[in-house]
Amino acid sequence: MLDEGLIQRTLGAALRTGGELAELFVEDRASSNALFDDGKVENLASGRERGAGIRVIIGDTTGFAHTADLTEQGLADAAEAAAAAARSGGGGVREVALERQTSPRPNEVAVLPEDVAKARKVELLRRADEAARAAGSSISQVTARYGDSRRQILVANSDGLLTEDDQVRTLFTVMAVASGDTGMQTGYQSLGRTVGFELFDSYDVEDLAREAADRALLKLAARPAPSGTMPVVIGPGGGGVLFHEACGHGLEADLVAKGASVFAGRMGERVADPRITLVDDGTMPEEWGALAIDDEGSAAARNVLIQDGVLTDYMWDLLRSRKAGRPRSGNGRRQSYKHLPMVRMTNTYVLAGPDSPEDILASTPAGVYVAHLGGGQVNTATGDFVFGMTEAYLIEDGKITEPIREGNLIGNGPAVLATIDAVGHDFAMGSPGMCGKDGQGVPVGDGVPTLRVPALTVGGTA
């Protein structure tokens, strides 16, 4: 993406006033999006963004500057600005010997979306719209979205690192609205992978649309969600966001260092039921959080955070790992070249356990079965959380019975980890997501097998 000589000169300029570490991050991102709503194309757009971010570190101080000017002068100005922000004065010259490194990609891309005509993308949306409306006469509105991105990055630093990655993502979502005596109910389904347009050779957008429509139609006959503390069974895949939010963020080393995590200082302690092993894995082929390198140039890795209930590690970025003397875990991520990297998850999931999903249900006389969780909020310092249930059912006499309308799950992450009493062998990854932290969003994945929490507060209206 840049000449190696230019990279060396830029890093040298960043170190001229005595920086301990200088880093250059270059990004070239192209994307396209299409929205099909109310039977017609509402939006069809594409864009491209290129630029570089330069970071200079001196002790605990970081200077950062970014620029869309990738000329030698533009990069030099940004390097000097970052160095000045870190520390003024000093002097001398430091040369950087770069060593190009490569990391294996989780998977290859067969068809770059940028090579596919917009008309083919719009046709997918039209097919999804027709399939959702054909699911039932009560479907009153359908919104389908298509999106793709190609993000080419280069990372170089004064330790001699020079590496690149080419990240492609393709996304398709459908939301259907059903109208009836109980008002309007919505159903949602999404599909996203780190592959190109070949995604649609393996997945049928009509099936995706019918699933969204069926969820909306099912809710028309749903009962109000119950209220109170009761057993909750979380289905495979759809409940992974609970562990991402309620536990994953608390295992990010920057929050741990700030004392803003309930898991701070607990390395080596039992923090969960022995059935629970929690992993963050950026190497999972095709999953939404997969990558070859993170945004600091570290190779993606599979990191076991909780092993058989015991806290074994946190997630690390460059700064925290250097300070703590820990290996980098591939979790330094940033939204764009305009942002500083921070510790972020990739694909976070609970491993499959020994229990039969059928036995878990059969041994639950009454409660709630959650097929899909929506968004929520969590206090990482305490672990307290609130999550919305977007698809849930009553459990009666050990069986899934009637659907219930959307309600909330209210609880505490560490308490949930400690009290889970059943873990199924039916692991699945959930839907693609965007994780927000300190104003930045990055793509992430999550997953779980069937799990049972014997006592969790359900906030409903019944």
* Tens place of pLDDT per residue across the chain (462 aa): 899 999 999 999 999 888 899 999 999 999 999 999 989 999 999 999 999 999 999 988 999 999 999 999 999 999 999 998 887 544 444 456 778 889 999 999 999 999 999 999 999 999 999 999 999 999 999 999 999 999 999 999 999 999 999 999 999 999 999 999 878 999 999 999 999 999 999 999 999 999 999 999 999 989 999 999 999 999 999 889 989 988 999 999 999 999 999 999 999 999 999 999 999 999 999 999 999 999 999 999 999 999 999 999 999 999 999 999 999 999 999 999 999 999 999 999 999 999 999 999 999 999 999 999 988 888 999 999 999 999 999 999 999 999 998 899 999 999 999 999 999 999 999 999 999 999 999 999 999 999 999 999 999 876
Length of the chain: 462
Distance CA 191, CA 143 (A): 14
Domains located in the chain, CATH noted:
4-30+45-100 (no CATH), 113-152+166-220 (3.30.2290.10), 228-459 (no CATH)
Rounded Cα gap, residues 309 and 344, in angstroms: 22
Three-class HEC string of 352-363: CCCECHHHHHHC
> Pick from 275, 295, 297, 279: which is nearest to 287 by CA?
279
What are 298's two structure tokens? Answer: 């570290």
Cα 324 to Cα 223, 256, 298, 301, 316, distances in angstroms? 52, 12, 16, 19, 10
Cα separation, 395 vs 422, in Å, equals: 16
Residue 237 to residue 185: CA distance in whole angstroms: 22
